[in-house]
């Protein structure tokens, strides 16, 4: 009997394939971190398919504005690229980068306890909804659900190490 080790890789989503470009399977991708330069140093990445995570070798990566342009070794045609449009891009958790000071990954906010500026507990962040303009934190306490836009107007403090967020709400946000 083989007594080898079994390794379980945990993957984190770092972006999404937006569209195909060119005739040789080149792809445009958005980085969830907002820093497309994140893709410049990747040697490989993973895309979740019906069969599980599929690995791809990154031949080249450049940045154009707020998106990355990726050429993957295994993607040689427009048709192959088309199959990847809309899919999320993953890397092993060990390859997760540290965000710049004052920035956090969305999954780090899940579970944070939310208080209003007077110190009253509102609930815990249970989900993050992504919209074109900004993300929205879903905060729950019992049956109550509050949606808080992830913008400075509302989020006054976010301390991930302490698991605490302080928000300033406007009238009507807590009404059920």
- The per-residue pLDDT of the chain, averaged, comes to 85
Report pLDDT for 135. 82
- What pLDDT, on a 0 to 100 scale, did the predictor assign at position 66? 87
CATH of domain 106-167: 2.30.30.240
The pLDDT of residue 101 is: 74
Burial class from Cβ neighbours inside 10 Å (0-12, 13-18, 19+) for residue 114 reads: buried
- For CATH 2.40.30.60, the residue range(s) in the chain are 11-95
Quick one: average pLDDT of 145-154? 90
Q: What is the DSSP string of 65-98?
A: TTEEEEEETT--SHHHHHTTTT-EEEEEGGGPPP
- Where does the chain hold its CATH 2.30.30.240 domain(s)? 106-167
The tokens describing 171, both together, are 């009238």
DSSP 8-state class, residue 101 = T
Least confident of 49-53, 110-114, 123-127: 49-53
What's the pLDDT at 175? Answer: 64
Asked whether the beta carbons of 144 and 169 are under 8 A apart, the reply is: no
> In this structure, what token pair is assigned to residue 173?
């946000």
Report the pLDDT value the prediction gives residue 1, as an integer from 0 to 100.
Answer: 39
Determine the straight-line distance between the first and last CA of the chain, rounded to whole angstroms.
60
Residues whose CB is less than 8 angstroms from the CB of residue 121 and which lie 6 or more positions away in sequence, other chains included: 113, 114, 115, 141
Question: Using 50, 70 and 90 to split pLDDT, how confident is the model at 2?
Answer: very low
11-95 CATH fold: Elongation Factor Tu (Ef-tu); domain 3 (2.40.30)
Instruction: Give the pLDDT of residue 132.
Output: 65
Residue 24 has what DSSP assignment? T
Per-residue model confidence (pLDDT) at position 145:
92
Give tens-digit pLDDT for 16-56: 899 999 878 899 998 887 788 889 989 999 998 777 889 99
In this prediction the pTM is 0.61
């Amino acid at each position: 009997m083989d007594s080898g080790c079994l390794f379980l890789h945990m993957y984190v989503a770092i972006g999404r394939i937006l569209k195909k470009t060119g005739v040789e399977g080149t792809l445009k991708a958005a980085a969830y971190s907002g820093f497309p330069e994140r893709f410049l140093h990747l040697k490989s990445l993973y895309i979740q398919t019906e069969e599980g995570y599929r690995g791809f070798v990154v031949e080249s990566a450049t940045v154009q504005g707020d998106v990355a342009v990726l050429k993957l070794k295994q993607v040689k045609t427009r048709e192959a690229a088309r199959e990847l449009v809309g899919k999320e891009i993953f890397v092993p958790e060990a390859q997760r980068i540290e965000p710049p000071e004052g920035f956090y990954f969305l999954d780090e906010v899940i579970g944070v306890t939310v208080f209003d500026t007077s110190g009253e507990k509102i609930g815990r962040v249970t989900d993050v909804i992504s919209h074109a303009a900004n993300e929205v934190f879903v905060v729950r306490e019992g049956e109550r659900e509050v949606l808080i836009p992830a913008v400075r107007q509302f989020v006054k403090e976010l301390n991930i190490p302490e698991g605490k967020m302080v928000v300033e709400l406007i009238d009507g946000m807590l009404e059920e």
